[in-house]
Amino acid sequence: MDANNDFVILQYQQELNLPVFIKLEVNQFYPNIISFFNKLNFSEVTKDAFDNSVKENFKTKILNIELASNRVSHQIEYMIDSDRFGSESIVPKEGYQVYRYKSAAMIIFSLGAREWTMGCLSDFGNDESRLTAHKVIINRFISWSLSGLGIVGFWGVPVDEGMVVMKAGESLGEAIFIDLINKNIISIEGVKPLKSNFKIIRLSSTLTDRNIRMNSEELLGFLSSYCTYFDFSGPSVAVRQLIRNLSKIAFGLIHPQEKFQPRVEI
């Protein structure tokens, strides 16, 4: 922690040395905000380590999290036309985009820029009723940051066979990231190797006593629907290619929902 201004710098999946960082002034938020980020596999790093990453890796992404001003708080809270389609929206501007999760946060970003800014309320990461929304927001940031590194994310949870992919609300905002270059599965449980028999599971409320295999085109459509990457014009060409590559190497299974036992949240 910087003793001069109480800023904390956190790195995502530090063991992998991924160039994804969050910077925030902790005294603006509830004390357990660091615990919230720790659960998402962010850990505190020194300023020297951060500076070296910024200097050596041009793909470094930094999210500066700030307490929203009165004007930004109003923008986060007020109703807009796109709210009828859901809580999340992206509005393209000249040279940047504005991502908004209603009643939670707003991020101003450009995929070509190194530093982005997020404005949020002081209870970010603390309000139990909004934790799913808060996790979705941070996983959106991670998704945008990792897309240029050959890493693609999906809403879901890891299992021994691979991962169960579902809607963001069903996974409580939890996401899994697949590194197709280094053959890794990245989740809140840590990093595991991407095995040759990796299975992607879709739950069905109508199936009872058996699994059904999905072909690669069915799996492609399924994965495209539950990807964590979010953009005004849809997934980028690079993200679409990553999803297609994954659909060709993974085994897609439809599994009875009644036989799936969700993990107790950690």
Domain ranges of the chain: 7-148, 152-259
Answer yes or no: are the C-beta atoms of 223 and 154 closer than 8 Å. yes
User: Given CA atoms 159, 164, 170, 174 in this order, what sign does their dihedral have?
Assistant: positive
pLDDT in tens, 119-135: 999 999 998 889 999 99
Those residues whose C-beta lies under 8 Å from the C-beta of residue 141, and which sit 6 or more positions away, are 20, 22, 61, 63, 107, 116, 118
Phi, psi of 75 (to 5 degrees): -65, -35
- Residue 227 is given by DSSP the state B
Of 261 and 11, which is predicted with more confidence? 11
Q: In angstroms, rounded to a whole number, what is the distance separating the alpha carbons of residues 222 and 115?
A: 32
Q: What strand order describes the sheet that includes 115-120? A: 42-44, 7-12, 20-25, 61-67, 115-120, 105-109, 96-101, 88-93
Indicate whether 3 pLDDT > 60. no
CA 263 to chain centre: 19
In this structure, the chain runs to a length of 266
Predicted confidence at residue 263, as pLDDT, reads 65
Indicate whether 39 pLDDT > 70. yes
Give me the mean pLDDT over the 165-193 stretch.
96
Q: Which residue has the tokens 């109508």?
A: 206
pLDDT in tens, 78-95: 866 655 567 899 999 999
Predicted confidence at residue 2, as pLDDT, reads 42
